Amino acid sequence: MRAFLFPGQGSQKVGMGAELADVSPVAREVFEEVDEALGQKLSRIMREGPEDQLTLTENAQPAIMANAIATLRVLEREGGLAIADKGNCVAGHSLGEYTALCAVGAFPLADTARLLKLRGQAMQAAVPVGEGAMAALLGADVEKAEALAEAAAQGQVCEVANDNDPTQVVISGHRSAIERAIALTKEHGIKRGILLPVSAPFHCSLMQPAANAMAKALDDCPPRGFSLPLYANVTAAPVSDPAEELGLLVEQVTGRVRWRESVLAMREDGMEDFVELGGKVLGPMVGRIDRDAKVTSVVMMADIEALAKEIG
């Protein structure tokens, strides 16, 4: 059984999608449709930068989605494979959950781009720049991270944001609380804490204004029926009901990304083969969660051709 995975923020880089766009009209169509939906030349920023423009949350989120959907569309139209036929479920990391939903027909491409643009803007606006922060805890399991976050909070917000894999947990909250947490890592048996280069504290309760904005946006543009079940970030469980998924997408803005648990749940449900489309971030995480899982990362045309040959 096979799961298709879609990456989240941090997987963006200048030049993303350029090779696909150069060789595939199908990929170019995706980038052009996203540009038109957003009323900006996002594809140019993806191809040429500058990097600081690409890493802006409101640009990075739709860019990562566009790159992954372009990869998927080339696989489907030029590789002759439909993920509804070749896959058993989908999952995405944070914004990747929207990409996954687009991939299985819950959102049209243009709507997905607009929702992610708004999501990025709302998340950036929720907390004044400099007041929030995130840190990656290396050599930490989720229990150690929770204990550290509780000790560092001291009346402020300091919460586990991403349970990525057995060796990496991300915390999020007020900047001073995150800095306290980094200083306390050794005392909690954690190898190291690294402040992340992000402009807002994602996936913690400080994001509530952004969750409110997404609730309104999703009420106006709700997900439709989808062709494969999706493992939701906040529950680490499969969902097939669009109305339920709408609520989970709102909850996701402030909630924990339970990626490690999601992968374990997919394995328990029989998934053996994990294919990451449009990035090389989730594949290594899956490998650290379960060494027996088969992992493939698909980014370039050669990767698409190899996958089409293997599973076609």
pLDDT at position 168, please? 92
| CATH number of this structure's domain 132-198 | 3.30.70.250
| Residue in 60, 67, 178 with CA at minimum distance from that of residue 124 | 60
Same fold, 2-126+206-311 and 132-198: no
Contacts of 311 (CB under 8 A, 6+ apart): 2, 81, 86
Number of H helices, E strands in the chain: 15, 10
State how far the alpha carbon of 161 is from the alpha carbons of 67, 178, 183, in Å: 25, 12, 18
Residue 290 CA to residue 283 CA, distance in Å, equals 11
pLDDT the model gives residue 11: 86
From the candidates 174, 203, 262, 297, which is the catalytic residue? 203
227 is catalytic: no
| 239 three-state secondary structure | strand
Strands 89-92 and 2-6: parallel
- Predicted confidence at residue 234, as pLDDT, reads 98
% helix / strand / coil in the chain, to the nearest 5?
A: 55, 15, 30
- pLDDT score recorded for residue 217: 98
pTM of the model: 0.97
**CA dihedral in degrees (238, 243, 244, 248; nearest 10)?**
100
Q: What are phi and psi of 241, to 5 degrees?
A: -95, 120
For residue 71, which of 276, 278, 273, 280 has the smallest C-alpha distance? 278
At residue 10, the pLDDT reads 83
Give the per-residue pLDDT at 198. Answer: 84
How confident is the model over 16-56, as pLDDT tens digits?
A: 999 999 999 999 999 999 999 999 999 999 999 999 999 89
Q: Domain 2-126+206-311 maps to which CATH number in 3.30.70.20, 3.40.50.150, 3.40.366.10, 3.40.50.300?
A: 3.40.366.10
> Angle at CA 36, nearest 5°, toward 30 and 42?
75
Q: What is the pLDDT of residue 85?
A: 96
Cβ atoms of 84 and 228 within 8 Å: the answer is yes
Q: Domain-by-domain residue ranges, the chain?
A: 2-126+206-311, 132-198
What's the confidence (pLDDT) of residue 176? 98
Among 94, 172, 262, 297, which one carries the catalytic annotation? 94
- Bridge partners for 133 per DSSP: 173
Low-confidence stretches of the chain (pLDDT beneath 70): none
pLDDT of the residue at 197: 83
Cross-strand partners of 276? 5, 297
The pairing of strands 273-277 and 294-298 is parallel
In the residue annotation, 94 being an active-site residue is answered as yes
